[in-house]
Amino acid sequence: MDDFKEVQVTYELPLDGDGFLRRQCPTCDQQFKWHDGPANEEAEQHADADVYYCPLCGSPAEADHWFTDDQVDFIQGEVHKAAMPKLDELLDGVFKGLSGPNIKVKRTGHLETPVGPDPLVEDDDMVIVASPCHGFEPVKVPDGWSQTIHCLVCGERFAV
Ligand SMILES: [Zn+2]
Ligand SMILES: [Zn+2]
């Protein structure tokens, strides 16, 4: 099954008009957005963080644990689409291996490659806020959010 690792999946998550990517906190399940890539020159000088803090509840999580439910469905759809032809090829090999001098095993069906998922759409909702401590890493919080906000980078609370 070593070949299976070679399946490459490319997918693109849409950004909103301001260059922000929708995220979902793995702890509180609420959604916010962070800026995709460095927001400005100062941000470029900082290495990507390994851990980010949820602006809404303040819980930390690793940088790749912030996909929304829709993004997870979308990526899984892309993975299925990319993996199916490879799986089909592997099955062919399995069937050939089953045949011997006195036995013929013939495969009649094929796995169908699923159609890719519908592309995601990103609305220009939510409001931009920048923390006093790490202002180069702005986030977007839901419209009307009135509670304190946590800095994405260090988790420090601040009010807007
Ligand atoms: Zn949270
Ligand atoms: Zn901070």
If residue 22 lies in a helix (H) or strand (E), which one and from where to where? strand 20-24
Distance CA 17, CA 26 (A): 25
For the cut 70, the answer to whether the pLDDT of residue 30 exceeds it is yes
Query: For residue 3, what pLDDT is reported?
Result: 52
In the predicted model, what is the mean pLDDT of the chain? 90
**What is the CB-side half-sphere exposure of residue 121 using CA atoms within 13 A?**
2
Q: What is the mean pLDDT of residues 26-38?
A: 95
User: How far does residue 133's CA lie from ligand 2's centre (Å)?
Assistant: 4
Ligand lying closest to the C-alpha of residue 55: 1
Between strands 139-141 and 127-129, the pairing is antiparallel
For the cut 80, the answer to whether the pLDDT of residue 4 exceeds it is no
Burial of residue 147 (CB within 10 Å: 0-12, 13-18, 19+) is exposed
For the cut 90, the answer to whether the pLDDT of residue 53 exceeds it is yes
User: How confident is the model over 70-117, as pLDDT tens digits?
Assistant: 999 999 999 989 888 888 888 888 888 888 888 888 888 888 888 888
Q: How confident is the model at residue 2 (pLDDT cuts 50, 70, 90)?
A: low
Q: How confident is the model at residue 153 (pLDDT cuts 50, 70, 90)?
A: very high
The environment of the single-atom ion ligand 1, i.e. residues with CB closer than 5 A, is: 25, 27-28, 54, 56-57
User: How far does residue 34's CA lie from ligand 1's centre (Å)?
Assistant: 13
User: How far does residue 53's CA lie from ligand 2's centre (Å)?
Assistant: 9
pTM for the complete prediction?
0.81
Choice among 14-23, 76-85, 142-151 with the minimum mean pLDDT: 76-85
C-alpha dist (Å) from residue 5 to 59, 87, 95, 105: 33, 11, 20, 27
User: How far does residue 70's CA lie from ligand 2's centre (Å)?
Assistant: 28
Greater model confidence, 86 or 131: 131
User: How confident is the model over 110-124, as pLDDT tens digits?
Assistant: 888 888 888 999 999
